Amino acid sequence: MILEKIKTAVDAGNRVHWVNSGYVVKRDGFGRYLTYLHAEWVSYRFGQPGW
């Protein structure tokens, strides 16, 4: 995907993965497009379900 397609998809409310299914692109409250590692097992491992 090119950058403009990623931005359009995120803005439309779609879940966009980058590199692999573990990395998700989100837009923060300041309008920045950020990637984060989506690993549910990490939150359960440290006893904090639902990060």
Task: Write down the mean pLDDT value for the chain.
Answer: 80
In angstroms, the CA 41 to CA 51 distance is: 11
In this prediction, residue 44 carries a pLDDT of: 46
In this prediction, residue 1 carries a pLDDT of: 62
| pLDDT tens per residue, range 30-45 | 999 999 887 665 544 4
In angstroms, the CA 29 to CA 24 distance is: 16
What share of the chain in percent tops pLDDT 90? 43
Q: Where are the domains of the chain?
A: 3-45
Q: Taking 90 as the threshold, does the pLDDT of residue 16 lie above it?
A: yes
pTM across the whole model: 0.67
